[in-house]
Amino acid sequence: MLEYLRDLGAQARQRLGQVRKLEELGEWKREYLGKKGAVSELLRGLGGLPAEDRPLVGRAANALRAELEAELERREQVLQQEFVQAALRTERVDVTLPGRRPAVGRVHISHRVLRRIYDIFAEMGFQVFDSPEVETDRRNFRSLNIPPHHPARDMWSTFYTTREGVLLRTHTSPGQAWAMQAYCPEPIRVILPGKCYRYEQVTARSEFMFYQVEGLAVGEGITMADLKGVIIAFTRRMFGSERQVRFRCSYFPFTEPSVEVDMDCILCQGQGCRVCKYTGWVEILGAGMVHPVVLRNGGYDPQHFGGFAFGMGPERITMLKYGINDIRWFFSGDLRFLRSL
């Protein structure tokens, strides 16, 4: 019996030595140490032995089990080690390869130019005033002296919502009504930046969404000379002190008189090129003296108060400043464009 035990032990050890993979250890364990394994079988069979042999054989069998268990553990450790070593060999990371540089973002060019615009107007005492992008027909049109069916509405075709009288603003001018509501009867000196929407064909010169920066000054004794001074000062701070500015008569229902402002083309210094369509001048904004109807709608008595307003497109300003020929680049998300500025 003891001899059988010795053979069993030798066989188990030999087989254990042949196990090459961690997953195969379970099988070996079942075969020798499991409930139905060879050693358990042997212990169960003890009852069949003569009484005087039982303690000896029992002790030897238990000892064998303990030894095999210990050896199983050792083998497991060895295989584990081998497994890790093999993984380290085959899955080695080459630390000498150059790393991947994390992409560092930056402020979008539209916002960089917007910040510059804020700075320039801040120097002249204008505060930034926020107003909503979703507007009512009343504020976007009627408060600005554009009644329903007025032909001027054709200039600002927009996206209407399914709610009656609610639309995406076509310009920042409805912000004038918000500012007047907030300030009246105090004087006002604000700029109103933000997104605007127009239902029109997208081309190199027009997008369906774009930014505007509105300016509004309301107070006693404000004249057109103040408007001209502010615009000229802005243009020279933005584009250089040698810039020339001219004011052309124009029409907006919410200003009287109304003007459009041109600057001499910075690309050709007024000589004439494709960007200025060979005129030497480029339009930069619309402006005028706040219409008495608009002042009254905002709670100001036009007998005592006057004001000026202007509206500019910062994308257009950016295009002129950086010589960009297509407005669609701005919101295309094209990194080649964004990185180039």
Q: Least distance in Å: CB of 118 to ligand PHE?
A: 17
- Amino acid, single-letter form, for residue 317: I
Q: Least distance in Å: CB of 183 to ligand PHE?
A: 17
- Closest to ligand PHE by CB, 64 or 217: 217
- Give the H or E element holding residue 109: helix 109-123
Q: Least distance in Å: CB of 181 to ligand PHE?
A: 17
d(Cα 110, Cα 338) in Å, to the nearest integer? 10
- Closest to ligand PHE by CB, 136 or 173: 173
- Closest to ligand PHE by CB, 9 or 313: 313
Q: Least distance in Å: CB of 267 to ligand PHE?
A: 24
Q: Least distance in Å: CB of 219 to ligand PHE?
A: 16
d(Cα 153, Cα 294) in Å, to the nearest integer? 16
Q: Which residue is nearest to ligand PHE (CB)?
A: 311
- Closest to ligand PHE by CB, 39 or 231: 231
Q: Least distance in Å: CB of 120 to ligand PHE?
A: 17
- Give the H or E element holding residue 310: strand 306-312
Per DSSP, the residues of 33-56 read: HSTTSHHHHHHHGGGGS-TTTHHH
Q: Which two tokens stand for residue 193?
A: 């930046």
DSSP state letter for 304? T
Per DSSP, the residues of 274-315 read: TTTTTSSEEEEEEEEEEPHHHHHHTT--TTT-EEEEEEE-HH
Q: 275 with 267: CB under 8 angstroms?
A: yes
Closest among 56, 54, 38, 36 to 46, alpha carbons compared? 54
Q: Least distance in Å: CB of 278 to ligand PHE?
A: 24
Place of tokens 């619309």: 286
- Closest to ligand PHE by CB, 194 or 311: 311
Give every CB contact of residue 296 below 8 A, 6+ residues apart in sequence.
Answer: 302
- Closest to ligand PHE by CB, 257 or 280: 257
Give every CB contact of residue 140 below 8 A, 6+ residues apart in sequence.
Answer: 156, 158, 167, 169, 170, 171, 173, 174
- Closest to ligand PHE by CB, 146 or 324: 146
Contacting positions for ligand PHE (CB under 6 A): 171, 173, 214, 252, 255, 286-288, 309-311
